Structure 1
Amino acid sequence: MVIDSKNEEMSHRLIVLGASNVAKSLEVLLNVAPQMMPKPLEVYAAIGRGRSYGASSKFLFRGLPGILESELWPVLENRTSSAETSCVITDVGNDLLYDQSVDQIIDWVQQCIIRLRQTEGRIAITGIPLSCVRSLASYKFTAFRTMMFPKSRLQLQTVRDRAEALDVRLQELASDDDITFIPQKPDWYGFDPIHWKQAKRPEVWHTILNALGHQAFNYSSVRSSFFHSIRHWGTRPASRTLFGMKQTKAQPSIHRGEHLTVALY
């Protein structure tokens, strides 16, 4: 699959890997990024609610391959580009609730880093929201685990121990010059311990992109509402299953004039 682009030599690429936080805030990102990054801007996003970095996952009736198995990687390999590139790795802690070990998660992240380095872009990795994990009540953890990961039987203390260890390992990865570690701020979270507050999403994306060297701006005018959270709910990625049936769609699937395209994987 090859994506055509005008003025490619002047474009900028933003590659985002993540799960539900990115899926829920994608519209906010598409309002923040063009104000901070050169245009035309091409966004490549391997994301999705409940997404795993290395294993297939399901959310309601929709299934997605692990990020490492997505079509993002052959697309990037097959497409020669001189575009300046920025990369974001986030929602890494999602795999903890799939009972994945810290070593396994770090191995998946390292594989992503190796592939992203082929783009010669800078990489930002967000940490684990440790303040939420440390203060999370048992009843709330059980409720979220049952709702989001119904097959999981993980205990809260196990998740706490692994979250602490995972955050340390992510910081160690970011000791390399081309990787920036971004701690999760406690006030980005509220009652929901795993998703960024709706009102904080413009700040989150501004913080991440600014850490990658992109120009700051007054993001207070960027809207973030429930409508923005669900706007791309039905936007189809390159490949998925729905009710057990495989669906494919040519990318990019989102176009905003000639200056912004979004390919979903």
Structure 2
Amino acid sequence: MSPQTRPDEPTDAPARTVLLLGASNISLGLRPILRCLRGGLEGELNVLVAAGHGRSYADRTITFGRSLPGLLRCGAWSAYANRPEGPPPLVCFTDVGNDLLYDTPPATLVGWVAACFDRLGGSAEVVMTLPPSKRAAALPAWEYHMARGLLFPSLNPLPWDEMRRRADELHDRLSALAESRSVAPLEPPAEWYGFDPIHIRRSRRREAWERLFSGWESFQTNGEATLPRVPVVWGRAEKVRIFGRSRQTPQPVWQGAGISLSLY
């Protein structure tokens, strides 16, 4: 990053589009994510976020009264296709695993992720996390059932042995997909997680996102930038149902520090 440009100051360069696809880890880590992006990338940023607790890569889900379309079917793709001209887009895939709890076969889930890859075009820089297999390897059955009951109380659980088998298969298939697309996937360290085996600890979020985004060649590890206060954006996705009532929100939902944030 040039010494003349502060990371938290906009420039006259064309906006760079950043597409983040995932679930609750993105939603919980949105503020550190924005700070990392602002601290590590120059210029105006057009940030498109498709996330949310329990989000599926293809199917509509409902969690805590909020219903969202699957990532493959949300408005982020239209926004991505119509992005402003600028530097090559940056794309992040994470939280690939919720669909196992919805009884989706690993091969089907990886097919959905591959379909997302196919929509990106050839110029995008892509990073991806694998499922936290190192944390899962140390997870006893009772912790799995307790965590699943707290985070996904309405779902019928698979036996832990079968879930571990499917998680291992997902890990292998995602690794093969990443290799075929020339993407170096990030294996999340076990220490990023506590009792909750799915969500990155609050104290490790900055480290996790900075390490993941460092997979983009254009990302510079310069520390987090300061940001003005980002308002609460729960329920402000472009198209969402809240307790059965449809709501549409014009995008972007927030602009500041050279960042335009849109939710889908």
Asked if Structure 1 and Structure 2 have the same fold, meaning a TM-score greater than 0.5 normalized by the shorter chain, the answer is: yes
Q: Distance in 1 between matches of 2:149 and 2:226?
A: 33
Percentage of identical aligned residues: 28
The within-5 A match list for 1:35-54 is: 35-54=39-58
Aligned to 1:200: 204
Displacement after TM superposition at 1:83 (Å): 3.3
Bigger proportion of residues as helix: 1
SS of alignment partner, residue 86 of structure 2: coil
Aligned to 1:125: 128
Query: Letter of the aligned partner of 2:261 in structure 1?
Result: V
2:263 corresponds to 1:264: yes
Q: Structure 2 stretches of 5 or more lacking a match? A: 1-9
Aligned to 2:239: 239
Q: CA RMSD in A?
A: 2.3
Aligned to 1:252: 252
Q: Distance in 1 between matches of 2:155 and 2:168?
A: 23
Query: Letter of the aligned partner of 2:99 in structure 1?
Result: D
Deviations 1:48-87 (A, max 9, x none): 1110001111111110000001011122223452332110
2:91 corresponds to 1:92: no
State which of 7, 10, 17 in structure 2 corresponds to 1:13: 17
Displacement after TM superposition at 1:212 (Å): 1.3
Displacement after TM superposition at 1:9 (Å): 5.5
Range that drifts further, 209-218 or 241-250: 209-218
TM-score (norm 2): 0.89
Query: Letter of the aligned partner of 1:33 in structure 2?
Result: L
TM-score (norm 1): 0.88
The within-5 A match list for 1:61-76 is: 61-76=65-80
Runs of 4+ with >3 A deviation: 6-9
Q: Distance in 2 between matches of 1:88 and 1:8?
A: 25
2:142 corresponds to 1:143: no
Displacement after TM superposition at 1:117 (Å): 2.5
Aligned to 1:82: 86
State which of 85, 94, 110 in structure 1 corresponds to 2:114: 110
Q: Distance in 1 between matches of 2:249 and 2:180?
A: 36
Aligned to 1:3: none
Range that drifts further, 29-38 or 177-186: 177-186
SS of alignment partner, residue 54 of structure 2: coil
Query: Letter of the aligned partner of 1:262 in structure 2?
Result: L
SS of alignment partner, residue 131 of structure 2: coil
SS of alignment partner, residue 260 of structure 2: strand
Distance 1:194 1:30, change over 3 A: same
Q: Distance in 2 between matches of 1:97 and 1:62?
A: 18
Q: Distance in 2 between matches of 1:9 and 1:35?
A: 16
Q: Distance in 1 between matches of 2:62 and 2:251?
A: 22
Size of the aligned set, in residue pairs, is 252
Displacement after TM superposition at 1:209 (Å): 0.9
Aligned to 1:59: 63
